[in-house]
């Protein structure tokens, strides 16, 4: 039976959760999926890096760092290095698949873009949960993957492990996808819901921060930067666009007032931060993110709290909506697992329809 | 390029819409999907039957019967028979795929069960939009298909063309599916929504009938019989159950009063007719359909009007919900097209993971 060797780049919450999944249910996954998983390299800013072509002891690695970590220990103590050495590890390790879950600078997508590029250049498959490489360098990286004959998968870049990109690619064959609109940021959706319950913006944001939804600087969530990247990804990947970040208009929720919310409620409406894109009659794509007061019967009106959703506008079915978690360590680790399954299916000659590479080559999904 | 020859059994709204799709965008589908479609047999209660191994002229067939039909003409005028001759056509025609869209008796699933059986016995792939064969004879028919080396597909049996069965099979690999709950009948959901707006049950039902949602005898919708069959299908197909109809408890919405609805609303709740199934600790499956007053933040609370939705309870992602149309001629015709695409992918060696046959053989999807 096939075993895939993995390198985990970034050993924070997401890749830790993936390692826990492999450690706790690797055998069950092997029985269900028909392949095994083994981790042969890990790099992390705090822990350094470790390579072992025979497989790293995951219980050792998971005991390092994290909340239950053993002091200042690094991988140096286990034959590795106290420095992350990302490029050397990505290029030099024996992994079949690089699981990239570091961080991403929204301006240039680094360091994740370089991680992905190094992996593809050295002939390794990549799955990433980072929006940056896909949103800002998606076309270039997909073309590189195609030239190298490897896969570039990124389901976790939008709505964590909730199937969105792969769902649209595989479940809508024969349909024409005319556009989409979605609630793709849980923090801003939570804040708007709490404002509807009577809090003002500042109170709602503080509550979201206390619950761990919002970061210390919540601008990426509240001002629509996060959703802007996700809209860019979906517009390019699912509608065949070639948009740049500047082509996605952006407006956040900070100007929405309690009065706006009261007025909307009295008219049977509810404010939501909607990211959307649609084909225009001239063959282009119009994309943006902005707060909108939508009717309570709108397919996104009932998406509450930190839940995310995307509603696809199809010609034969009308709107089809998928909702689920938009974040979370385990939820995002599952996205990586779903990417690994897709890489396996491609290796077996399955799942080629609607593949990332095919889509990249023809400028997005061919549509009727 | 491959061309699949189809037999359309039942030439009412659904198969007519499929024929229209093939006639109007057959070339575009061929370019996108990599195969062509040709209709070589049609049977219909009113029009009789027609076979032509070289392909039936669809514009002729579509002009017969229907709203714009030409009087009492039948296929007899075009070299066919004025009688449907379903068994002879299904067994004797040259089709690769039988598209079954007749009607189904909820007691024994006939005549659709026989149509499916004749097709499988004669070595033909089947796609059906009928709940009966899947709900009442699913295991037997899937086993027959496996023995014959052909496919038995039925995405349209639940929520028309909205991907539900195939979505759960293909998008949730590596997850444990613990159960589901859904709004799977548009008529009853519409009626409950109108009762929330102030109508009583009778007024709401009459309105639904005027809009074409509810049939003259609305019992199948309002008393939960329709949802009961759908729950049975999903419980057996996705949770690996071997339930019979009697194992799915059934209660409709006819006992829900305006007072119930007012009380629920004042408590932040809303009545919905929920079909559900879940694994029990002893390894069994508990399944039923009943009206429930769910919290407004419940993932199904925002599903309004005739829209349908199923919320899957997964271990790693929590609830993931898909919503979309639950009925409609074109929407259901798309379900048949999606089944044909699945048959094509299986023929090419793709899409075998999560296949109907594999699931039937091991008693449902293998799950971690």
Residues, chain A: 368
CATH code, B20: 3.40.50.720
Whether residues A24 and A90 share a domain: the answer is yes
Report the C-alpha gap between B337 and A175 in whole angstroms. Answer: 10
Position A67 scores a pLDDT of 55
Active site residues of B: 230
- Domain span holding position B89: 3-160+330-362
Position A66 scores a pLDDT of 61
pLDDT per residue over B221-260, tens digit each?
A: 999 999 999 999 999 999 999 999 999 999 999 999 999 9
Inter-chain touch A32–B368, beta carbons under 8 Å: yes
Whether residues A46 and A104 share a domain: the answer is yes
Whether residues B223 and B99 share a domain: the answer is no
User: Are the beta carbons of B308 and B181 closer than 8 angstroms?
Assistant: no
Whether residues A20 and A147 share a domain: the answer is yes
| A331 interaction partners in chain B (CB closer than 8 Å) | 316-318
Whether residues A131 and A177 share a domain: the answer is no
Whether residues A232 and A197 share a domain: the answer is yes
Report, as ranges of residue numbers, the positions in chain B whose pLDDT lies below 70: 66-71, 351-368
- Is residue B265 situated within a structural domain? yes
CA distance B80 to chain A (A): 31
- SS in 3 state form for B147-174? HHCCCEECHHHCCCCCCCHHHHHHHCCC
Whether residues B75 and B191 share a domain: the answer is no
CATH code, A261: 3.30.360.10
Of A175, A341, A367, the CB nearest to B173: A341
Please return the burial class of A23, using the count of CB atoms within 10 Å of its CB with bins 0-12, 13-18 and 19+.
Answer: middle
- Is residue B286 situated within a structural domain? yes
Inter-chain touch B161–A296, beta carbons under 8 Å: no
Nearest CA in chain B to A366: B32
pTM (2 d.p.): 0.93
Q: What one-character DSSP code corresponds to residue B81?
A: B
User: Are the beta carbons of B139 and B124 closer than 8 angstroms?
Assistant: no
Structure tokens at B63: 């002009």
Report, as ranges of residue numbers, the positions in chain A whose pLDDT lies below 70: 66-71, 351-368
- Is residue B218 situated within a structural domain? yes
Inter-chain touch A320–B319, beta carbons under 8 Å: no
Whether residues A190 and A107 share a domain: the answer is no
Position A272 scores a pLDDT of 98
Give the closest residue to B179 by CA, choosing from B225, B136, B229, B234: B234
Q: What's the structural domain count of chain B? A: 2
Whether residues A194 and A293 share a domain: the answer is yes
Q: Is A98 on the interface with B (CB under 8 A)?
A: no
* Residues 305 through 364 of chain B touching chain A, CB cutoff 8 Å: 305, 307, 309, 316-325, 330-331, 333-334, 337-338, 341, 345, 349-353
- Is residue B368 situated within a structural domain? no
Nearest CA in chain B to A359: B32
- Is residue A368 situated within a structural domain? no
Whether residues B305 and B336 share a domain: the answer is no
Position B80 scores a pLDDT of 95
Whether residues B123 and B183 share a domain: the answer is no
């Amino acid at each position: 039976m096939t075993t895939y060797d993995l390198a985990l780049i970034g050993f924070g919450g997401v890749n830790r959760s993936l390692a826990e999944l492999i450690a706790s249910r690797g055998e069950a996954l092997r029985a269900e999926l028909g392949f095994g998983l083994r981790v042969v390299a890990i790099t992390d800013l705090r822990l350094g890096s470790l390579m072992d072509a025979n497989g790293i002891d995951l219980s050792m690695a998971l005991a390092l760092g994290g909340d239950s970590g053993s002091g200042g220990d690094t991988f140096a103590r286990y034959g590795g290095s106290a420095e992350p050495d990302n490029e050397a590890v990505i290029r030099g390790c024996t992994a079949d698949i690089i699981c990239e879950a570091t961080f991403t600078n929204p301006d240039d997508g680094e360091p994740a873009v370089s991680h992905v590029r190094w992996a593809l250049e050295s002939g390794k498959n990549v799955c990433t949960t980072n929006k940056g490489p896909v949103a800002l360098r998606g076309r270039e990286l997909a073309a590189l993957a195609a030239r190298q004959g490897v896969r570039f998968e990124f389901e976790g870049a939008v709505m964590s492990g909730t199937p969105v990109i792969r769902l649209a690619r595989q479940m809508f064959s024969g349909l024409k996808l005319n556009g989409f609109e979605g609630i793709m940021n849980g923090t801003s959706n939570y804040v708007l819901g709490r404002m509807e319950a009577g809090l003002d913006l500042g109170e709602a944001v503080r509550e979201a921060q206390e619950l761990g939804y919002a970061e210390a600087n919540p601008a990426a969530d509240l001002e629509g930067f996060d959703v802007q990247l996700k809209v860019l990804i979906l517009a390019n990947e699912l509608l065949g666009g070639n948009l740049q970040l500047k082509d996605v208009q952006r407006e956040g929720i900070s100007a929405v007032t309690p009065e706006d919310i009261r007025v909307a409620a009295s008219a049977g409406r509810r404010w939501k931060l909607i990211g959307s894109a649609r084909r225009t009659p001239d063959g282009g794509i119009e994309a943006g993110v902005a707060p909108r007061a939508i009717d309570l019967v709108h397919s996104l009106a009932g998406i509450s709290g930190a839940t995310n959703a995307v509603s696809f506008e199809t010609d034969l079915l009308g709107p089809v909506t998928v909702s689920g978690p938009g974040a979370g360590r385990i939820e995002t680790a599952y996205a990586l697992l779903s990417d690994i399954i897709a890489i396996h299916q491609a290796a077996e000659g399955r799942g080629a329809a609607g593949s990332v590479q095919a889509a990249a080559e023809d400028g997005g999904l061919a549509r009727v």
